[in-house]
Every structure is written in structure tokens, then in C-alpha cells.
Chains A and B, each alone.
Chain A
Amino acid sequence: MKDAIFSLNGKETVYQPGQTVLEAARAAGVNIPTLCYLKDTTPTGACRICLVEIAGARTLMAACSTPVAAGMEVFTETDRVHNARRLNVELLLSSGRHDCMICERNGDCRLQDLAYYYGIKEMRFPQDQDFYPTEEENPFIVRDFTRCIRCGRCIQACNELVVNRAISYGYRGKDSKVVTGGDGPYLGSECVFCGQCVEVCPVGALTEKKARGKARAWETQKIRTTCPYCGVGCQQWLHVKDGRITKVTAVEDGEPNMGRLCVKGRFGYDFIYSEDRLKTPLIRENGSFREASWDEALDLVAGKFKEIIAKEGPDAIAGVSCARSINEDSYQMQKLFRAVIGTNNIDHCART
């Protein structure tokens, strides 16, 4: 069989049957800008940013939802394409309150990037003024409708990536809005606060409430780690500024979660900063605890263990390791019990 070939900016390019123009172009190293496109979900063609010119087609086509056909001639960087994309960016800018300076996503916003790269110098169109009120009545997610570009990524993510099916499009035309069932706030709806909608929102319409005002995107360092809760082992980015986690997002191509997190993995990180943390060794004395140095506490433990081994034998000591802590800690604890104390009385809650 002949290889499937199409022409991309005048160059013969191989594609996999079934690929969209966007996928084939990206595979060939040609970048096409997108806003609403969301990997692994049904393309919606909502934003018209990915427009390309196809020889023989009357109008420009959305690369994200047009399948490649053999022999197709596609142009991604013509003047016509540029003008159309720029116009669409301008329309999106005017559709909301895009005063970037006071937006949480400043510096990490796809619309801002597009406005910059398409050289937009001024707001040519009057800005919409009539917005739905911002919703903050929950602990984790701020819904700022003034910045929503109605790209629908949140809806795609909620319905197709995490399949929580909590949100959809509501109302028509200029009034259109992302709604929960019954258009109530997230709190009290089907929403389970996984924050996947926040993760995929390209602009500042959905943001993490706990992260607000904590750090600008360019001030943080991203550290990859593994979620501390259940046994799925989701891969996370910790966004860290000055040694403090400001928010947590998912590693997009990380196995096994491939860009997903749940409510605990995404929002349950700040326990480490709790005032309740144990900060010094404690020794019980006359019925209450007093602070102690490491030397004193460790000497006491080692001394007491030696005494009990001498008197009762090593099997009078038993230990439970922690199924939440790292492998190396469990290894070290069983080694302490087996090699130093001399007993196999080591277990952990393998069964809960």
C-alpha cells in the first residue's frame, strides 16, 4: 500500500489515516495554534484559532476537526490564515474583561500568548460589559465568567477526560455560559471538585482559589512528584515558590493519570504547612510530653530496646511501618527490626 501523503506548506508529508490536520501537522513538527483543542476528547471547533487554508476549499478550515485526506494541500501560515486568526483573537479579547495585570493567570495564559504573537496593538472592538457574576462559593475553584472565552475545554475535560459530567453549555448566543445542571454554583451540584476544568482552562476564567495571589507563573519552579494519597500513583507538578507549594497540577503525559488528578491529589497538599506539625522529639514525663533533643530521645529509644532485648528477648519488640511513606523508609525500618533488634515482628497495614 502506498504511504498516506498530503502536502503541508508545499512539502510532501506522511500522515496516519484518521489523523486530523492538526495532529498530522504537529507530528510533522509544524505548529498550529489552538485554544479549544483538547487532546483525547472530541474536537468541538469552537474557537477558530487553528484555521488553515486548504486548496480548493471555499472557507478556511479548523485544523483540529478536519481529517486529512490523501493529496490534500494544506497551508498553515498564509496571510489569509494570519488575518483570520488575528481577527478571532481580537474578537475573543473584546468578549471579556481581559485586563491581564490583575488576572491570576497573567504570564500563563494562552489568549495572552496569542495576542502577543499575532501582534495585536490595540482593542479594535468595544468590550462586552455585561457579565455573569463571579462565583467563589466553594473552597477550591474561582469561576470568573468575565474572562471566559467559551472555548468549552472545561466541558470536554469534565465529560470526556474525568467523566464526571457536571457541566455543559447553557443558554444561547451572547448569553451562552458554562453551567452545572440547573445552573447553580459548583458547590451543591454534581461537581466533585477534581479541578480538571481548572487544569485545562486556557485563560483566567477558572483558577485555583488557594493559589490566588501566592505566585506569578514565572516565579515558580515545577517539581515532579507522586501523589501522597491513594494507590493510583498520579504524577503531579508541585509549583513551588520560596520553598512553598503554591499549587498542584497534573503531569500531562505522566503515567498513569495522563493529566488528571482528583480532589485530594490536586487540593490536599497544604497539610504539610499545618501548625500542628510535630517539630521536636517529645518524651513523656509525669503524664505529659516535654520537648527533647534528638540525642536524648534516640538514646532513650535505643537504651530501652536494648534493655528489653536483654530481659525479654527480641520478640518482645514489635513494629508497624507506614504504607504512606517512601519505600526507603519501610526498607530501613524492617532492616532495623531484623538485623539490629533481631525479630521479624514487623508489619504494616497491608490490608487496609
Chain B
Amino acid sequence: MTNSFRDFAKAKMILVIGSNMTEAHPVAASLLKMAVIGGAEMIVVDPRRTPLVDLANLHVQIKVGSDVAFLNGVMHVLIAEDIYDKKYVESCTVGFEELKQKVLEYTPERAAAISGVDADTIRTVARRLAANRPAMLMYTLGITEHTCGVDNVMSCANLQMLLGNVGFECGGVNPLRGQNNVQGACDMGALPNVFPGYQRVDNPQAREKFAAAWKVERLPEKPGLMIPQMIDGLLDGKVKAFYVFGENLANTEPDIRHVERCLGAAEFLVCQDIFPTETTRFAHVVLPAAAWSENDGTFTSSERRVNRVRTASAPPGEAKPNWWIFKEIARRMGHVWESDSARELWDNEISQLAPSLAGIKYFRLEGNGLQWPAPSLEHEGTPYLHKDGCFTCGLGVLKAIDWRPPAETPDEEYPLVLSTGRRLYHYHTRTQTGRSEGLNVLLGEETADISETDADRYGIADGETIAVRSRRGRVAVKARVTPQVPPGMVWMAFHFREGCANWLTNPVYDPITLTAEYKACAVAVEKIA
């Protein structure tokens, strides 16, 4: 996020797009709701009537996958009515002319035809945003989990720059990270193209610097594979050995049948985890790891805050800290590493190697942690980025973007859209929440959420077990008839193996990030019996 959670409670104007925050990030939603009951205006853009809608001034119920068209329509109005922030655009951004040409093609009427939102609502959104600044924009996976995920993200950024809302308290572009340490794993360079601190592997200076620090002669320069390529590589033999640390790929990736075929084809699969999972079934070696409260270490939250994690109890049996396991493998491959605790790893390696973390040391993390960038020991951390519109890498880039439909759209055979997400009482594949006493009582099984209209059309009763089919597979799952879901949509999560949405989801990806299109594929529903 460019900004901080504390801004959520203070924001005056809020635009939430593709984020079911009350269930996926409940405390963030509470802060936001405090702002709203305190008088802030909130616009919620979502195909579903999410719980946040109850408090919204306006619910813009766009069709799944029409975000770019909708946002272009809003920007069209801002430019056509001359109510965007000209001064900001001139002094802080480049690319306005291209953006203008493009969004002028998206009249509110055209955007309306694509997004299913009427043209006047699009005008209202633009005018409200122009009248009430800065607005704080938040999004989650409703924006990114599309084949056009990057386009969606850039459109959010376009809008906020056009409004002059980036670089201020209670403004900015704020993706809420799904998992506790996605931000941190990215910062640490668990990505195929960058070292820790986003230093690119194809940059010779960066390679030299890390090679010296890690005492090796050379480091590989070619960016590596991303997860979907790794998985497919198992099947075509390009990847022989696969090391899966803590992920339950057999449930979380789209098209479970295909993923399991690939995992089954691995010549050598190492799984390192705290529980046996659907993925460890395919392993050749399983390594038992210490869990959350059995480790000292750090997590980095969505607001770039590095927080301490502390040990409360010892790991069971022989389970070991993950960093120790990696260190031991390295030693057996001829590399002796010095750091012998998470603290040493952070203080002596990570914060030395990543300039934006240079000022962060364990002794500074006792209380509320620190938000990077914190380049020196005197630096207090950075609650919001791009202060006053000064972008870290020069000017903010406005990009002309065209709308593209999802890869698979409903047709006669599969007439409904399946969209997926998370529910309040469980987390991911339930490896943790399913084993925490009580949560299964609050939510004990998966459901397929459908609208009353579709329930009537197919003669389905609430609670009845139905079949949901896609080109990938078929699941039997209970129907939940709910006003949350618009007609034409089936909505499911991936918490339960039985009835997991990923038997159905489409393994197609954003071309740049290879994020799968979890939010849209075509399905059919039918009664069983």
C-alpha cells in the first residue's frame, strides 16, 4: 500500500474496488467503517453486494471483469468535464495525452454497456471523486486475479493520479495483501527476477554485490520461472526437482486435476510444512517445520510495516525453524553460512543488502515496528509513499489501457460466471483454521452462493446439494441462496477440499505476473438427483 492503515480511520472519501474487506481483512474494514460512521463518504465497486455495501453511500455493481472499462469511463468524465487535477497531472505525471486519447473512447455510455452500470452512475462517481479529495482507493484480489490484473492495477493508479490523490495522507493506491507476509516474501526476493530489496537479477552490479555478500563467484542472471511455469515444467520434464515450502499448491492453484497430475510427475518433490497437506501426499521427502509462534522473526504487513514475531512455545517433536533447514541443506552442498538466528539474518544480512531496509534492525522493532523505506538508523519509517506527488522513480506514469474481457465468458453450455474468494471464518485451505477449535463450527463446509433469480430459474432450494461444472471439472456442493450474489454469478471459496472452487477455475494467467484468473470462468449448475 502507498499509505497506512491508520489513514483508513481518518479518510474522508473512500473508493473500495474488488475487496471484500469485512471478511478478508476484518480489522482494516473496522477502521474503514469507523471513518464512514464518522461522516466519510464511501463508494464500493463490486459485482457482489458485500457486507461493506450496507454502509456505502454508493454501490457500483459492475460485471465481473469489467473494471478497466468502468474506470476508463470514470476518467472519461473527469477529463471531458475538466474536473481532474491539472496541476498535479502536469507537474507529477507523464503520459496524459495517451491516456486522454484512450479514455475519450470510453464514453459513459460505452463503459455502461460493458460494465452493466448505468452511465449516470459513472458520471456520479467521477463527480463525487472530483469534489471530495483526496480519496483513498483500496483494492484486493478482485482487481489482480484476472488475466487483465496488471491492467486493472494500472487503471486504479491512473485514476488516482488523474485526481491528484497519490502522495498524500488518506489518499493513494492501497492493495490489501491477502497473506500475512506476502509483502515480506516479495521484499525478501522470493521472486524469480529480483534479489532482496527489489534489486534486479539481470543487473550486473546487483549480481556482483550479492555474489560478494554471499561469497560465491557468480549468480544466475536469467530471471527464473514463476509458479505456474514451474508446475507445468514438472509435466514436460523441464523441472526435475521441486521444493515447496509451506504452500498447498494442490488446493490453491486453478484446475486441481491438472496441478495434481503435474505434482505426481515430479522426479523429486520436497515439501516443508507444519502439517501434512494435499500437496505433501506427492512428496518424496517431507521436512517438519516450526510454526508461527515457535519462531523469532519478522513479518511485513500490507502497510510495509516490519513487525516482530516472537516465540511462545517450542516446536513439536523434531520440527525445526525453516531458516535452519535451508542453512543445513546449503552446508551439505558445500556452503557454510554464518547467521544462526533470524535476528542475525536480518541484522547482518537482509538490512545490509536491501537499501530500503537499511535502517531497520531488531532493536528498533520492539514496539510498533517500522514502515519501509527506512534507509538509515535515524529514519523514522515512511507512513505514505510519493509524498506530495514526488514519485520515487521520477514522474508517475499514466498508461493508456484498453478493456479486455476475461479469457472464458459464459456461453450456452456454461451460462454462469464463477467468481471466487475468501470467507470470514476460514483461511486459505484451512490447514490452520480447520485445526483451530471452533472455526469449523462457525463454517463447516463450502457452499456455492447463487442469486434468488438463478435459484428460481434452476429450481434450486437453499441448502440443496447441487453440481457445479466447468470445462475443468465438477463438484457437488451445497447451494446458498443469497442476495449478496447478482443473477448470473456463482460464488465459491477454496477453503474446503470437497467443493473447492479450484476444481473448476481456469488456469489462464495475466501475461506479466502470471496471476491466475480466479475471479472469472464459465460454469453451469444443475440439480443432483
Is B223 in the interface zone, CB < 8 Å from A? yes
Query: Which of chain B's residues have a CB closer than 8 A to the CB of A347?
Result: 190-192, 224-227, 230
Write the B142-178 contact mask toward A (1 if CB under 8 angstroms, else 0): 0011000100000000000000000000000000111
Partner among A228, A255, A321 whose Cβ is within 8 Å of the Cβ of B6: A255
- Look across to chain B and name the residue whose beta carbon is closest to the beta carbon of A227: B180
Say whether A268 contacts B241, CB under 8 Å.
no
Q: By the criterion CB–CB under 8 Å, are A321 and B185 in contact?
A: yes
Give residues of chain A (296-352) contacting chain B, Cβ–Cβ below 8 Å.
Answer: 297-306, 308, 312, 314-352
Taking a contact as CB atoms closer than 8 A, the residue among B34, B223, B233 that contacts A344 in the complex is B223
Assembled-state Cα–Cα distance A215/B176 (Å): 36
Q: How many whole Å from B158's CB to the nearest CB in chain A?
A: 21
Asked whether B82 is an interface residue with its Cβ less than 8 Å from the other chain, the reply is no
Stretch from A26-34, A77-85, A167-175, A273-281 at the B interface: A273-281
B306 touching A352, Cβ below 8 Å: no
Contact of A331 among B176, B252, B350, B516 (CB under 8 A): B350
Which single member of A194, A226, A314 contacts B220 (CB below 8 Å)? A314
How distant is the Cα of A93 from the Cα of B420 in the complex, in angstroms? 51
Contact of A318 among B195, B224, B289, B518 (CB under 8 A): B224
Cβ contact of A238, chosen from B312, B427, B438, cutoff 8 A: B312
Is there an interface contact between B247 and A322, defined as CB atoms closer than 8 Å? Answer: yes
Let me know if B37 is at the binding interface, CB within 8 A.
yes
B256-291 with Cβ < 8 A to chain A: 267-268, 270, 273-276, 283-289, 291
Known: A232-B28, A316-B240, A328-B298. A351 touches B515 (CB 8 A): yes
Given A226-B309, A318-B230, A326-B342, decide whether A263 and B216 contact each other with a Cβ distance below 8 A.
Answer: no
Q: Which residues of B contact A256 (CB under 8 A)?
A: 4-6, 27-28, 31, 301, 303, 305
Asked if A330 and B276 make an inter-chain contact with CB atoms under 8 angstroms apart, the answer reads: no
- Contact: A338 with B195, CB < 8 Å? yes
Contact with B along A233-272 (1 / 0, CB 8 A): 1110010100111000000001111001111110111111
Q: Is B109 an interface residue (CB 8 A)?
A: no
Assess whether B33 is interfacial by the CB under 8 Å rule. Answer: yes
Q: Please state if A297 and B287 are interface contacts (CB–CB under 8 Å).
A: yes
B329, CB-defined interface residue at 8 Å: yes
Query: Smallest CB–CB gap between B420 and chain A, Å?
Result: 10
Contact between A317 and B246, CB atoms less than 8 A apart: no
Minimal beta-carbon separation of B222 from chain A (angstroms): 7
Interface residue? B85 (CB, 8 A)? no
Nearest Cβ in chain A — how far from B423, in angstroms? 11
Would you call A277 and B274 a contact (CB within 8 A)? yes
Residues A352 and B27 in contact in the complex (CB < 8 Å), given A233-B299, A320-B227, A320-B247: no
**Interface residue? B442 (CB, 8 A):** yes
Give complex CA distance A209, B437 in Å. 11
B332 touches A346 (CB 8 A): no
Partner of B178, one of A231, A274, A341: A231
Within 8 A of A (CB), among B1-40: 4-6, 22, 24-28, 30-31, 33-34, 36-37
* Given A281-B288, A301-B285, A328-B298, A225:B244 Cβ within 8 A: no
Chain A contacts of B518 at CB under 8 A?
Answer: 352
Bitwise, A79-107 to B at CB < 8 A (1) or not (0) is: 00000000000000000000000000000
Report whether A225 and B308 are in contact in the complex, using a CB–CB cutoff of 8 Å: yes
Given A268-B436, A302-B333: A352 in contact with B328 (beta carbons within 8 A): no
Taken together as a complex, chains A and B put the C-alpha atoms of A326 and B308 apart, in Å, by 9
Q: Given the known A-B contacts A304-B268, A308-B268, A345-B192, are A193 and B6 also in contact in the complex, defined by CB atoms under 8 Å?
A: no
Asked if A231 and B318 sit within 8 Å, CB to CB, the answer is no
Binds A, one of B112-120, B319-327, B402-410, B470-478: B319-327
| Interface contact A282-B309, CB-CB below 8 Å | no
The answer to whether A57 has its CB under 8 Å from any CB of chain B is no
Is A319's CB under 8 angstroms from B37's CB?
no
The answer to whether B427 and A328 have CB atoms under 8 Å apart is: no
Asked whether A1 is an interface residue with its Cβ less than 8 Å from the other chain, the reply is no
Segment at the interface with B among A45-53, A144-152, A156-164:
A156-164
Query: In the complex, are the beta carbons of B332 and A298 less than 8 A apart?
Result: yes
Q: Are A231 and B179 in contact (CB under 8 A)?
A: yes
User: Is B183 touching A231 in the complex (CB atoms < 8 A)?
Assistant: yes
B368 an interface residue at 8 Å Cβ cutoff?
yes
A320 touching B297, Cβ below 8 Å: no
| A340-B243 in contact (CB<8A) | no
Whether the pair B24, A316 counts as a contact (CB closer than 8 A) is: no
Q: How many residues of A contact B (CB 8 A)?
A: 111
Contact residues in B for A269 (Cβ distance below 8 Å)? 293, 436
A194-251 residues at the B interface, CB under 8 angstroms: 194, 209-210, 223-235, 238, 240, 243-245
Interface size on B, residues (CB 8 A): 148
In the complex formed, the residue of A with least CB distance to B190 is: A321
A120 within 8 A of partner (CB): no
Whether A58 sits at the interface, judged by CB under 8 Å, is no
Q: What's the nearest-Cβ distance from chain A to residue B30, in Å?
A: 4
- In the complex, A336 Cα to B427 Cα: how many Å? 29
Return chain A residues, CB-CB under 8 Å to B55.
Answer: 163
Chain B neighbourhood of A189, CB < 8 A: none
A316 to B181 Cα, complex, angstroms: 27
- Does A118 touch B at the CB level, under 8 Å? no
A294's nearest neighbour on chain B, judged by CB, is B318
Residue of A254, A319, A322, A335 contacting most chain B CB atoms (<10 Å): A335
A271 pairs with B436, CB closer than 8 A: yes
A289 on the interface (CB 8 Å rule)? yes
Minimum C-beta distance from B453 to chain A (A): 25
The answer to whether B285 touches A270 (Cβ under 8 A) is no
- A336 to B252 Cα, complex, angstroms: 25
Known: A226-B308, A238-B312, A351-B514. A299 touches B230 (CB 8 A): no
Cβ contact within 8 Å between B313 and A244: yes
User: B329 touching A336 by the CB < 8 A rule?
Assistant: yes
**A17 in contact (CB, < 8 A):** no
Q: Mark B73-93, 1 if CB is under 8 A from A, else 0.
A: 000000000000000000000
Q: Which of A240, A326, A345 contacts B295 (CB 8 A)?
A: A326
Report the nearest A residue to B140, measured CB to CB: A231
Q: Are B245 and A320 in contact (CB under 8 A)?
A: yes
In the complex, A16 has a CB within 8 A of chain B? no
How many angstroms between the C-alpha atoms of A264 and B230 in the bound complex? 32
Q: Which of A243, A289, A333 has the most CB of B within 10 A?
A: A333
Bound form: Cα–Cα A245–B319 in Å: 18
Of B5, B297, B438, the residue contacting A232 (CB under 8 A) is B5
Residues of chain B within 8 A (CB-CB) of A163 are: 30, 33-34, 36-37, 55
> CA of A267 to CA of B424 in the docked complex: distance in angstroms?
12
A305 and B201 alpha carbons, distance in the complex (Å)? 22
Measured CA separation A193–B433 after assembly (Å): 14
In whole Å, how far is B416's beta carbon from the nearest beta carbon of chain A?
23
Chain A, residue nearest B353 (CB):
A331
A139 adjacent to chain B (CB < 8 Å) = yes
B182: CB under 8 A from chain A? yes
Q: For the complex, what is the distance from the CA of A175 to the CA of B346, rounded to whole Å?
A: 58
For the complex, is B479 an interface residue (Cβ under 8 Å from A)?
A: no
Interface residues in chain B, defined as those with a beta carbon under 8 Å from any beta carbon in chain A: 4-6, 22, 24-28, 30-31, 33-34, 36-37, 55, 141, 144-145, 149, 176-193, 195-196, 201, 210-211, 214, 216, 219-220, 222-227, 230, 233, 238-247, 249, 252, 267-268, 270, 273-276, 283-289, 291-295, 297-303, 305-314, 316-323, 325-330, 332-335, 337, 342, 345-346, 349-350, 368-369, 424-425, 427, 431-439, 441-442, 513-516, 518
Q: Which 5 A-B pairs have the closest CB atoms?
A: A233-B301, A279-B317, A322-B246, A326-B297, A139-B438
- For this complex, 17 residue pairs linking A to B, each with C-beta atoms less than 8 Å apart, are A139-B441, A161-B30, A225-B292, A225-B308, A228-B293, A231-B183, A234-B27, A263-B424, A269-B293, A269-B436, A314-B220, A319-B243, A325-B322, A328-B346, A330-B188, A331-B189, A331-B196
Known: A235-B307, A308-B268. 10 other contacts (CB 8 A): A233-B369, A240-B313, A255-B4, A256-B31, A298-B329, A321-B246, A323-B181, A325-B181, A347-B227, A351-B513
